[in-house]
Chain A
Amino acid sequence: MSKFRKGSKKEMPTISTASLPDIVFMLLFFFMVSTTIRQTTKLVQNDLPGATEVKKLEKKSLVSYIYIGKPIPRMQKTFGTEPRIQLNDQFAKVSDIRDYIITEREELDESEKPLMSTSLKIDEETKMGIVTDVKQALRKASALKITYSAREVERRELLN
């Protein structure tokens, strides 16, 4: 009996929280690793147009991106101010799109191929000429599902 009485000196032994950081760090690393998104450094100016009827893009791994816009100021000395196409990390020509789509498609599983889509991130001020060319190239590569990337805005804002 006296054995038990010794320990109960009113104070409860504090639970060691030393392992809590370990658990949290594990979670942290998990999120850091699993959410690595392929970040491309933008070489073109990319102010997306606003729209009200936007949908969220699902399954990022099935989406390939095409950026179009004026080269960023740093690049304007070499590449001029005409809108250009950017695929991955470099400038490209319309004729490169086909190869780009094919490589992107090869990376996917057979079952995922029909679900593949292309997101067009195009600067507001671009003229439709280059956009039409890109769309024709996509049709040739039979990448028919496309998304015109846009910011979600209020209708009032849009019509001003």
Chain B
Amino acid sequence: MARKVPEINGGPMADIAFLLLIFFLVATTMDIDTGITRKLPPLPEDQPERKDDPKIKERNVFEVLINSSDRLLVEGEPMNISELREATKEFIANPYDKEDLPEKENKEVRYFGEVPVTKGIISLQNDRGTSYGMYIKVQNELTAAYQELRDQKAMRKFGKKYGELEKERQEAIQKIYPQKISEAEPKNIGGN
């Protein structure tokens, strides 16, 4: 006599599968890589030597040195890392057109018309003994200075933060505050 085997309830199986599904969904998105992006300069040989390379005036260069004991020397003066952001902002923006801060050049920029654009360049030098943590802190402060200025400009003109703008508008603001951070060819700059 064929007895009817009671059917196993398959309902909870879906729950188990869902649990696994959610686990994988969460676990695989955890590894988002974040970081500070930079563009390395091409090797000197790759670039044809420009004869008319204009000598960059001293007032247009913001010199940041980090020595092997992680101390900062900015424009010849020791500085604390917490002051670096403001100092950099003042250098780039030069709000009062000071004599010893960078020159500006009027440029045509979309949406803005004729705007004075700074010629300032930040020169970052480090020692081989500098710790990477400090180096990143400095890079971070420099980036932050640019970012704050761009945000300010974007806020005033478009009423939005720089990151929320459309690409074309971002490019316009990039032209006003071009991010120029140059890293010198490696060398030992004192310290042990």
Are A and B a genuine interacting pair, yes or no?
A: yes
In the complex, A104 has a CB within 8 A of chain B: no
Query: When each residue 17-44 of chain B gets 1 if its CB lies under 8 Å from chain A and 0 otherwise, what string results?
Result: 1101100110010011111111111110
Chain A 129-143 interface residues, beta-carbon cutoff 8 Å to B: 129, 131-132, 135-136, 138-140, 142-143
Q: Which residues of B contact A63 (CB under 8 A)?
A: 33
Bound Cα distance A56, B39 (Å): 16
B76 at the interface (CB under 8 A from A): no
**A144 near B40: Cβ-Cβ < 8 Å:** yes
Chain A residues near B38 (CB-CB < 8 A) = 146-148
A1-9, A23-31, A74-82, A87-95 - the one binding chain B:
A23-31
Interface residues of B in 67-84 (CB under 8 A from A): 81-82
Tally of A interface residues using CB under 8 Å: 53
Given contacts A17-B14, A31-B24, contact A54 B133 (CB under 8 A): no
**Is B140 interfacial (CB 8 A cutoff)?**
yes
Interface positions, chain B 115-141, Cβ under 8 Å from A, are: 126-133, 135-137, 139-140
Chain A interface, >50% SS class: mixed
Determine whether A12 belongs to the interface, using a CB cutoff of 8 Å to chain B.
Answer: no
Residue pair B34, A55 in contact (C-beta under 8 Å): yes
Give which listed residue, B16, B35, B82, B127, contacts A128 with CB less than 8 A.
B127
CB atoms of B147 and A25 under 8 A apart: no
Complex Cα gap A44–B186 (Å):
25
A119 and B133 within 8 A (CB): no
Separation in Å of the A57 CB from the closest CB of chain B?
A: 4
Chain B: CB-nearest residue to A145:
B39
B42 near A127 with CB under 8 A, answer: no
Task: List 6 A-B pairs, minimum CB-CB distance, nearest first.
Answer: A129-B128, A124-B133, A24-B17, A147-B35, A21-B13, A54-B34
**Residue ranges of A at the interface with B (Cβ–Cβ < 8 Å):** 17-18, 20-21, 24-25, 27-28, 31-32, 35, 37, 49, 51-57, 60, 63, 117, 119-120, 122-129, 131-132, 135-136, 138-140, 142-152, 158-159
Question: Can you list 24 contacts pairing A with B, beta carbon distance less than 8 Å?
Answer: A18-B10, A20-B14, A27-B21, A31-B25, A51-B36, A51-B137, A53-B140, A53-B143, A63-B33, A124-B131, A124-B136, A132-B128, A139-B40, A144-B39, A144-B41, A144-B42, A146-B37, A146-B40, A147-B37, A147-B38, A148-B38, A148-B136, A151-B34, A158-B140
